[in-house]
Amino acid sequence: MCGIVGYIGPRDAVPILLNGLRRLEYRGYDSAGIAVYTGPGEIQIRRNVGKLQGLVEAVEREPISGSPGIGHTRWATHGEPTVYNAHPHRSQSGRIVVVHNGIVENFLELKAELVAEGFTFRSETDTEVIVHLIERYLEGENLSLFEATRRALRHLKGSNAVVVMAAPEPDKLVTARLGNAGGITIGYGQGEMFIASDLPALLDHTREVAFLEPGQMAVVTRDGARLYTLDGEPVDFQVTTVPWDPVAAEKGEYRHFMLKEIHEQVRGLTDTIAGRVDVEQGRVRFLHLDISPQQARGIRKIFITACGTAYHAGLVGKTLLERLARIPVEVMVASEFRYADPLIGPDDVVLAISQSGETADTLAAMEEGRRKGATLWAIVNVIGSQAMRMADGYISMQVGPEISVASTKAYTAPLVDLYMLGLLLGELRGTLSAEQRRRLVDDLMHLPELVSEVLRREDDYAAVARQYVPIRNIFYLGRGIHMATAYEGALKLKEISYIHAEGYPAGEMKHGPIALLEPDFPVLALVPQDPWYEKMLSQVEQAKSRGAPVIALATDGDERVAELADHVLYIPPTPWLLAPVTAVVPLQIFAYVIATERGLDVDQPRNLAKSVTVE
């Protein structure tokens, strides 16, 4: 959470920083600010509460220009979203500024120490201790900016990422990454350099990047970067070229990123499948996940760990991997996994799923797996992210940058990745015959076409959604493989429309929740043709008989459902192992339409952030 940017070079930093922050706004939007070196010995700051546009207007009212510069978009942890708490934060002398992402866990202790030394705090943030600590060494002990920052960082506990700039040394920016509090990526231009917490902020300028590992810092000048450990030892590093197309991070004709990303699912799934399957042989291969038959046969258990939408993908993955490869799978939210002392050993696999590859809880769960000797696999979207680099093998999602906070294409892609992983493991473990595999691959090849058909029905789903705009509560019910679809559908609606939506295993309704049903408490039931169809039908009857309006998601031509339900969202017939993909798309549209009809900002819902790099 929180977005960080930095620029050093011959151009005016201001438009570059503002543009970079716009690309990172999905990481937090409680406040935003920039600091720019404006002239001999002088750094000026502009900050504003709320979304980035407020800062843009503040800069228009009171223009500044210069280089280098740093910027920040905030997701509040310590201290309310006020101007005082907005970054960048300035040292007492005014000559040092810092932007920060993460949490300084021992900040109260450090603050007390600094106050006793005479430092005055102007904000409630934990960040301010960092800038005062740097000043303690830079001004107090006459150390260089690099050395002062290095000394200051050694006091911090927790996961933190920073970029620092100082008026006495305007020829450099110093940046550091401690733990997993989001990445620091350094971008290489021609005679200019960029820093950002995430790739989208860099792609307008360069595709040549270097990533800071936890425990590393860098001195960035116009001409390049030097990396060091926190002990000040130089580190060798690689500059890599990222393949993403900057245009992919533009909204284009679409009203919102969420809508654009819903529509990108056809292409995303096509790219996800392409190059990985051999239709003739019924085989799947992943470039960065090399598994030997011996290794596949030796796996005792797979632990899937993830957060939010990625966790729901993991729940579907359990059914896929167990059915196809006959391996026991346990799925755990990462925030629990890390403290559960899970019974993992060297014969187990910990499989993390993460769009960003930077979610702190997920990374900590991976570390727990590593500590216990398990093999680490990851399904990740952001190239070069921490999860990708930590894993022994990974599958990349191939869907391009996902900007909207509510995840859509980064939900359906891992479903397909898990299906393909099931096929691969099924082959290697001998649980699937060549004939079965060919059929399963053939089913997969038709999936993008089916999703495209679903998207052609967007207006039909929207018309149903419009009838439910004023609701206050809703249940999403599913069974079997669609329990996760119910959870995901409910999450989409609640996070962008603020309607109380609960996903529930349909068979559990009778053990309590059914008491809530009444005529203004609708139920959205997932009733496609699958092994749980008959059971789901009776659950729909039970809901109807309690007077609840029912929206059913059903397979084309299903008359029985049509007779029972008030409204039907039809999807084309889909093999049941792949139906979580076609079934979730109408639910994404349903949530999107309700939220936009309510006039809400779907891409940046309140209190949320795209990438949660704090615990």
Q: Is 610 among the residues known to form the active site?
A: yes
Give the distance, in angstroms, between the CA of residue 151 and the centroid of all CA atoms in the same chain: 32
Of 2, 260, 409, 494, which is the active-site residue? Answer: 2
**101 near ligand G6P, judged by CB under 6 A:** no
C-beta closer to ligand G6P: residue 92 or 407: 407
Q: Is 498 in the site for ligand G6P (CB under 6 A)?
A: no
Residue 159 as a binder of ligand G6P (CB under 6 A): the answer is: no
- Answer for the pair 214, 177: CB distance below 8 angstroms, yes or no: yes
Length of the chain equals 615
DSSP secondary structure code for residue 456 in this structure:
H
162 binds ligand G6P (CB under 6 A): no
Binding to ligand G6P by residue 496, rule CB under 6 A? no
Is residue 384 a contact point for ligand G6P (CB under 6 A)? Answer: no
| CB hemisphere CA count around 339 (13 angstroms) | 4
Q: Which residue of 67, 216, 359, 539 would you call a contact of ligand G6P, by CB under 6 A?
A: 359
Among positions 355, 386, 555, 613, the unique one binding ligand G6P when judged by CB under 6 A? 355
Q: How far apart are CA 200 and CA 73, in angstroms?
A: 14
**Pair 340, 440: CB distance under 8 Å:** no
Interface residue with ligand G6P, options 123, 362, 386, 604 (CB under 6 A): 362
When the beta carbons of 405 and 569 are compared against ligand G6P, the nearer one is 405
Which CB sits closer to ligand G6P, 353 or 525? 353
In angstroms, the Cα distances linking 515 to 342, 535, 550 are: 36, 20, 16
The nearest distance, CB 165 to ligand G6P, in angstroms, is 29
Query: What tokens does 189 get?
Result: 């231009």
Q: Which is nearer to ligand G6P, 107 or 377 (CB)?
A: 377
494 binds ligand G6P (CB under 6 A): no
Phi-psi region of 243 (alpha: psi -120 to 50; beta: other; left: phi over 0): alpha
* 391 scored as a contact of ligand G6P (CB under 6 A): no
| Least gap, CB of 305 to ligand G6P (angstroms) | 10
Nearest residue (CB) to ligand G6P, 297 versus 606: 606
- 608 belongs to the binding site for ligand G6P (CB under 6 A): yes
d(CA 554, CA 569): 6
* Choices 12-20, 83-91, 248-256, 348-356; region in contact with ligand G6P by CB under 6 A: 348-356
Element (H, E) at 475: strand 473-478
Strand partners, 286: 289
Helix or strand holding residue 241 (H, E): strand 240-241
Which one among 175, 305, 354, 555 touches ligand G6P, defined by CB under 6 A? 354
CB of 357 to ligand G6P, least distance (A): 7
Q: How many CB atoms lie within 10 A of CB 602?
A: 24
Find the helix packing angle between 409-429 and 265-273, rounded to 10°: 20
Among 201, 307, 416, 432, binds ligand G6P (CB under 6 A): 307
8 Å CB contact between 381 and 396: yes
The Cα angle at residue 383 between residues 163 and 333, in degrees rounded to 5: 90
Q: Is 2 tagged catalytic?
A: yes
Instruction: Candidates 405, 432, 525, 554: give the one binding ligand G6P (CB under 6 A).
Output: 405
- My answer on whether omega of the bond before 513 falls inside 30° of 0, hence cis, is no
What whole-number distance in Å separates Cα of residue 501 and Cα of residue 487? 9
**Taking the complex as a whole, how short is the minimal distance between the CB of residue 359 and ligand G6P, in angstroms?**
3
Decide if residue 77 touches ligand G6P (CB under 6 A).
no
Rounded to a whole number of angstroms, the minimum distance from the CB of residue 419 to ligand G6P is 18
Nearest distance in Å: CB 26, ligand G6P: 9
399 binds ligand G6P (CB under 6 A): no
**Closest Cα to residue 444, out of 536, 342, 582?**
582
Secondary structure (3-state) at 575: coil
271 vs 358 by CB, closer to ligand G6P? 358
Q: Is 396 in the site for ligand G6P (CB under 6 A)?
A: no
Amino acid identity for residue 236 in this structure: D
Q: Please identify which residue in 319, 386, 407, 604 interacts with ligand G6P, judged by CB under 6 A.
A: 407
386 touches ligand G6P (CB under 6 A): no
- Contact between 308 and ligand G6P (CB under 6 A)? yes
Q: Is 5 exposed, middle or buried (0-12, 13-18, 19+ CB in 10 A)?
A: buried
Distance CA 402, CA 252 (A): 14
Residue 309 near ligand G6P by CB under 6 A: yes
- Asked if 581 contacts 453 with a C-beta cutoff of 8 angstroms, the reply is no
Query: Nearer to ligand G6P by C-beta: 24 or 405?
Result: 405
Interaction between residue 412 and ligand G6P (CB under 6 A): no
For ligand G6P, the binding residues (CB under 6 A) are 307-310, 354-356, 359, 362, 405, 407, 608, 610-612
Active site residues: 2, 610
